[in-house]
């Protein structure tokens, strides 16, 4: 619904009206009437009958609705041909057009008519100059004029994404391993989320690798520390990487290999490391319990060698399909082979470092203006250690 901006009968916003002979007040049935022509505020118009609407602050005016003079016996005083000018600043004038206002029917149910369309013009003043009336007498009259604000208008600053008072472009971070976490060192600013990018930058290893930080959060959030904190139930203290690596009385460090950890959490009477861990499984002893995604994360960490830092992890092979856009900075390191079929766009800076082979498959492209390095070294290369130190 459109806002009714201004009504002669009730003016909600601050506004000033000037005209000659405002003898009847601002009421529907007590119209504006001018019986003496005078100097027009717009120098381009002759001495005439005119009415000027002035807004304290410029407004975006969309359309208008007008009620011509409608009092009994006076509709012939109604404005017939009028010219409408508007001013954005209060001094320079632009002609909106010349219009013919229909004569009112003097009925009590008179609805008025759709007035000129301004189409969202940003203006300060509106001037209606009456060129003639229905009886061509010495007086001119109009009952009411209503201006409607453009509901789409922006009164603030339109940001780079076209949003009024918006926050501007968002920074998006590369999520090469698709875990929903972004690489803090690799981002682009854009209005719309590019495929393969996310809004957070919580992934210190965007190659799928997890570190103790990632799994400790899970132990903590799922309530394991109640028994495996200070108390070290079963000999297992999950508070630090060092103590967790020692494992418990039954498994020792084997807790971090194979399926032991996930098995102990989920399987009743899990036959762990040669002697069963008693029913119920850990998941039934805590309030939170690991869900499937968390269990998969935990297993992925174990499968990756359960490293303390995600940067200590070195995948064997990697297939890269994610396109890198301007600003993206990333290094892929594997012990064996990289296969790539992605785009390295202008302004991106990407390094592939593999132990044995880098295969640039169909679809792989480096745009002019991108930086791309391919090297055979793998995770143990000097390059890697420098890289890791920089992370």
- Which positions touch ligand HEC (CB under 6 A)? 219, 222-224, 226-228, 233-236, 247-251, 255, 261, 264-265, 277-278, 282-283, 285-286, 290
With beta carbons less than 8 A apart as the criterion, state whether 202 and 183 touch.
no
The burial of 350, by beta-carbon neighbours within 10 Å (0-12 exposed, 13-18 middle, 19 or more buried), is given as buried
Which value, in Å, is the radius of gyration of the alpha carbons in the chain? 38
CA distances to 167, 374, 378 from 138, rounded to whole Å, are 57, 89, 96
Minimum CB–partner distance for residue 269 and ligand HEC (Å)? 9
Nearest 5 degrees, angle CA 10-CA 11-CA 13?
155
How many angstroms separate the CA atoms of 164 and 160, rounded? 10
For residues 251 and 354, which CB has a smaller minimum distance to ligand HEC in the complex?
251
Minimum CB–partner distance for residue 343 and ligand HEC (Å)? 42
The residue assigned the tokens 């004038």 is 93
For residue 202, give both structure tokens.
Answer: 């919580």
Query: Residue length, the chain?
Result: 391
For residues 107 and 253, which CB has a smaller minimum distance to ligand HEC in the complex?
253
Minimum CB–partner distance for residue 255 and ligand HEC (Å)? 5
For residues 50 and 301, which CB has a smaller minimum distance to ligand HEC in the complex?
301
Minimum CB–partner distance for residue 213 and ligand HEC (Å)? 16
With beta carbons less than 8 A apart as the criterion, state whether 58 and 124 touch.
yes
For residues 199 and 291, which CB has a smaller minimum distance to ligand HEC in the complex?
291
Minimum CB–partner distance for residue 274 and ligand HEC (Å)? 11
Minimum CB–partner distance for residue 235 and ligand HEC (Å)? 6
Minimum CB–partner distance for residue 300 and ligand HEC (Å)? 15
CA distances to 199, 220, 223, 268, 317 from 285, rounded to whole Å, are 35, 14, 9, 11, 38
For residues 185 and 222, which CB has a smaller minimum distance to ligand HEC in the complex?
222
CB within 8 Å of 296: residues ≥ 6 apart: none
For residues 305 and 363, which CB has a smaller minimum distance to ligand HEC in the complex?
305
How many angstroms separate the CA atoms of 170 and 189, rounded? 5
With beta carbons less than 8 A apart as the criterion, state whether 264 and 277 touch.
yes
For residues 70 and 260, which CB has a smaller minimum distance to ligand HEC in the complex?
260
């Amino acid at each position: 619904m459109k806002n009714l901006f201004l009504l002669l009968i009730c003016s909600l916003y601050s506004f000033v009206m000037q005209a000659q002979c405002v003898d009847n007040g601002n009421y529907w049935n007590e119209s504006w009437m001018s019986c003496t022509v005078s100097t027009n505020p717009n120098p381009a118009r002759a001495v005439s009958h005119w009415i000027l609407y002035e807004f304290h602050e410029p407004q975006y005016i969309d359309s208008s609705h007008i009620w011509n003079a409608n009092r009994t016996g006076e509709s012939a005083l109604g404005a017939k041909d009028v010219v409408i000018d508007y001013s954005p600043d209060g001094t320079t004038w632009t002609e909106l057009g010349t219009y013919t206002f229909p004569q009112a029917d003097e009925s009590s149910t008179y609805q008025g008519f759709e007035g000129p369309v301004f189409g969202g013009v940003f203006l300060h003043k509106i001037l209606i100059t009456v060129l003639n009336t229905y009886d061509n007498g010495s007086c001119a009259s109009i009952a009411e004029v209503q201006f409607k604000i453009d509901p789409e208008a922006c009164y603030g600053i339109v940001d780079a994404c076209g949003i009024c008072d918006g926050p501007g472009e968002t920074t998006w971070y590369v999520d090469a391993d698709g875990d929903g976490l972004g690489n803090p060192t690799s981002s682009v600013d854009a209005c719309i989320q590019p495929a393969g990018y996310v809004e957070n930058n919580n992934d210190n290893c965007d190659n799928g690798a997890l570190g103790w930080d990632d799994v400790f959060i899970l132990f903590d959030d799922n309530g394991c520390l109640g028994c495996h904190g200070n108390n070290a139930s079963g000999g297992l203290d999950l508070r630090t990487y060092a103590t967790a690596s020692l494992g418990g009385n039954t498994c020792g460090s084997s807790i971090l290999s194979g399926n032991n950890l996930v098995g102990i959490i989920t399987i009743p009477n899990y036959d762990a490391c040669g002697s069963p861990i008693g029913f119920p499984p850990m998941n039934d002893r805590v309030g939170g319990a690991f869900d499937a995604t968390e269990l998969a994360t935990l297993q992925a960490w174990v499968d990756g060698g359960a490293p303390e830092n995600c940067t200590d992890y070195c995948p064997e092979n990697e297939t890269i399909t994610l396109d890198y856009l301007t600003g993206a900075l990333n290094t892929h390191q594997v012990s064996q082979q990289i296969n790539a079929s992605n785009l390295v766009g202008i302004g991106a800076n990407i390094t592939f470092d593999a132990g044995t082979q880098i295969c640039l498959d169909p679809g792989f492209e480096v745009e002019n203006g991108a930086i791309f390095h391919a090297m055979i070294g793998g995770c143990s290369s000097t390059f890697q250690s420098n890289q890791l130190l920089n992370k």
